[in-house]
Amino acid sequence: MTPDNLSTFTGYQFRHKELLEQALTHCSFSRNLNNERLEFLGDSILNLVISNHIYLQFDDASEGDLSRIRASLVKQEPLAGVARAIDLGDHIRLGGGELKSGGFRRDSILSDALEALIAAIYLDSDYAQAETVILHLFRDLLQNVDADSNLKDAKTRLQEYLQARQKELPRYTVEQTSGKSHDQVFTVGCELVDFELQSRGKGSSRKKAEQQAAQNLLDRLGL
């Protein structure tokens, strides 16, 4: 397959092929001209497009709820899934070491290349075109957002995950309280015995610190 075949999957035909070539070039292939800067830009564009879409779709969701929904859509695993759906790995230019180790199948490389591709489309055209391509590529993910799951707070999600697997529930411990009475900061530790995982969270209340600690563990579990 050639890079031009990507237009079939994305619905976009590049005018400046050098942008597409750069988006598909991993740093292991070229130190000077690779997709790292494009990845940086594409990440921001993707977050904006997804944020706007879910803001309009979930009009009753709070800021925290929207952040959780967005995080579930733009983290590495779903991005790599989108990249695989358009066979992006077949087009990425990799150095010899990465090629031999199967880098074209690695989530991190695939997700980075997808973000770089989004940036390249934006620079080759405009924001509206990049938005159209993103919503096209993410249409299945956006249609199947599990709002009930994502709108639950971190402690509830973590507890339900453990209960479904008949694992011991998390242990929360207040490790430190600092600051004056009207401006306290709580540090809470959370431990998952069965997974041998620990995390800490900080917040202006014990509840907020526990939520952050739980969210940190969810992130480490890839949830």
* Amino acid present at 17: K
Catalytic residue chosen out of the listed positions 39, 43, 124, 131: 43
Catalytic residue chosen out of the listed positions 39, 98, 112, 115: 115
Residue 43 bears catalytic tag: yes
Q: What is the 3-state secondary structure (H, E, C) of 102-154?
A: CHHHCHHHHHHHHHHHHHHHHHHCCHHHHHHHHHHHCHHHHHCCCHHHHCCCH
Q: Could you tell me the two tokens for 156? A: 């509830």
The alpha carbon of 203 is separated from its chain's Cα centroid by a whole number of angstroms, namely: 24
Residue 65 bears catalytic tag: no
Contacts of 143 by beta carbon, 8 Å cutoff, 6+ apart: none
* Amino acid present at 30: S
CA distance 115 to 36: 9
The alpha carbon of 147 is separated from its chain's Cα centroid by a whole number of angstroms, namely: 17
How many residues belong to the chain? 223
> What positions carry a catalytic annotation?
43, 115
